[in-house]
């Protein structure tokens, strides 16, 4: 009796898979063992500091840049390095290489003393201060805004309270406006059972651990299934690296400034005040209708953090005539970082911004 020799194709496939697993094992160990992976490494300078906030200016990597500088307003909920993960997977690096003069607001990790920071402080003081610094630095009168998640909401609040804002265009990425559409978050912050005053009065800033648990609960099987998905694509080095970086970012949760949290829950979750047009910051009403700049809003099809219903009404409620809504495949983080973003969001953003940045 003779046995058929193994097909060379099968043998090669097995060999490739084993090699990849071995290499991944080593690279995986490298990622797991790193205390502080190198993130946010696109070269930049700090041009303004205010408390824990920093305004970064990314160093140009082209001889010529677009005339209008771009200010990126990041979220208060998470660290901003999701936008500058690692070389080759960084939205900031991409924008700089495309010739944009990029500035980014890093709100920093709130310290105990920051518990009194309100949305008013971010919208009426810090964003205007950053824009003034950029005007001074570049000699340009106008900037373009790019807001991610709650950063987009802050940028919208800024425009809604400053009719004379020196802003030429605004791009928003998965930005919530209708807080009644925030799914489980809306349920869990039910006014009858969620004592936000007691939380803030007792804890000051809302601890990152509480926020992380809330995010994890949105996708209860996530912690279990994610490693299984990684195993399934173990041969795809880029995917595994990207997954590990994003996963690390998601777990790197920062606290939320207490007073701003109280305001968000009471004004945005309970009253839906931004959408209703009743939100007031420092005595100024956030008037969405007064926003006239061209806007693009990119949303993710499978965003479980800011669902489509929460983000969709943004463009319907501003006064701008030149608007564009973009719905792309992916989730809240993969919209802006990783393989999907490289081929979907970034080129789209570049296409929209480039013609509006001269």
Footprint (CB under 8 A) of another protein, residues 66-85: 66-67
* Strands of 295-300's sheet in order across: 44-50, 53-58, 102-106, 70-73, 143-148, 167-173, 295-300, 323-328
How does strand 143-148 pair with strand 70-73?
parallel
d(CA 319, CA 80): 29
Of residues 68, 86, 118, the one with CA closest to residue 246? 86
Among 9, 36, 64, 321, binds another protein (CB under 8 A): 64
Q: Which stretch binds another protein (CB under 8 A): 57-65, 102-110, 174-182, 248-256?
A: 57-65
Site mask for another protein (CB under 8 A), range 170-209, x = bound: -------------xx--xx-x-xxxx--xx--xxx-----
Site mask for another protein (CB under 8 A), range 26-55, x = bound: ---------------------xxxxx----
Among 136, 289, 301, 309, binds another protein (CB under 8 A): 136
Largest CA distance in the chain: 91
Of residues 82, 101, 97, 177, the one with CA closest to residue 140? 101
> H/E element holding 281?
strand 280-281
Q: Is 303 one of the catalytic residues?
A: yes
- Token look-up 């058929």 returns 4
Kindly state the smallest distance separating residue 225's Cβ from another protein, in Å: 5
**In the beta sheet, which residues pair with residue 147?**
73, 172
Among 218, 230, 234, 315, binds another protein (CB under 8 A): 218
Footprint (CB under 8 A) of another protein, residues 301-330: 322
Among 149, 162, 172, 297, the active-site one is 149
Site mask for another protein (CB under 8 A), range 103-122, x = bound: --------xxxx--------
Residue 160 in contact with residue 291, Cβ under 8 Å? yes
| Residue 161 CA: distances (Å) to CA of 174, 227, 280 | 21, 45, 9
CB atoms closer than 10 angstroms to residue 222: 15
Q: Is 332 one of the catalytic residues?
A: yes
d(CA 319, CA 155): 15
Among 28, 31, 99, 266, binds another protein (CB under 8 A): 99
135 or 290, CB closer to another protein? 135
141 near another protein, judged by CB under 8 A: no
Interacting residues toward another protein by CB under 8 A: 47-51, 60, 62-67, 99, 101, 111-114, 133, 136, 138, 140, 183-184, 187-188, 190, 192-195, 198-199, 202-204, 217-221, 225, 228-229, 232, 322, 351-352, 354-358
Residue numbers annotated as active site: 149, 303, 332
């Amino acid at each position: 009796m003779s046995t058929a020799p193994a097909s060379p194709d099968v043998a090669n496939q097995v060999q490739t898979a084993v090699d990849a697993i071995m290499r991944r094992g080593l690279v995986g160990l490298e990622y797991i063992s790193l205390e502080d992976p190198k993130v946010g490494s696109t070269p930049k300078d700090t041009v303004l500091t205010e408390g824990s906030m920093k305004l970064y200016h990314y160093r140009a990597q082209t001889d010529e840049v677009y005339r209008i500088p771009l200010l990126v307003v990041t979220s208060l909920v998470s660290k901003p390095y999701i936008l500058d993960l690692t070389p080759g997977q960084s939205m900031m690096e991409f924008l700089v290489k495309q010739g944009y003069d990029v500035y980014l607001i890093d709100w920093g990790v709130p310290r105990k003393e920051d518990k009194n920071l309100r949305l008013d402080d971010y919208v009426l003081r810090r964003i205007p201060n950053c824009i003034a610094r950029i005007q001074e630095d570049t000699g340009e009168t106008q900037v373009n805004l790019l807001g991610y998640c709650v950063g987009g909401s802050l940028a919208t609040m800024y425009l809604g309270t400053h009719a004379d804002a020196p802003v030429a265009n605004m791009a928003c990425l998965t930005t919530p406006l209708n807080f009644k559409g925030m799914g489980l978050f809306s349920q869990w912050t039910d006014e009858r059972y969620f004592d936000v005053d007691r939380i803030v009065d007792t804890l000051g800033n809302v601890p990152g651990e509480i926020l992380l648990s809330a995010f994890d609960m949105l996708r209860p099987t996530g912690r279990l299934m994610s490693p299984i998905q990684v195993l399934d694509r173990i041969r795809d080095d880029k995917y595994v690296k990207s997954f590990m970086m994003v996963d690390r970012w998601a777990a790197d949760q920062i606290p939320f400034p207490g007073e701003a949290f109280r305001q968000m829950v009471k004004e945005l979750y309970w009253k839906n005040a931004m959408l209703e047009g009743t939100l007031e910051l420092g005595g100024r009403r956030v008037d969405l209708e007064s926003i006239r700049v061209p806007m693009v809003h990119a949303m993710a099809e499978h965003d479980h953090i800011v669902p489509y219903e929460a983000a969709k009404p943004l463009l319907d409620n501003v006064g701008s005539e030149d608007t564009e809504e973009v719905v792309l495949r992916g989730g809240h983080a993969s919209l802006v970082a990783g393989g999907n973003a490289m081929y979907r969001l970034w080129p789209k953003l570049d296409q929209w911004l480039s013609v509006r940045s001269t």
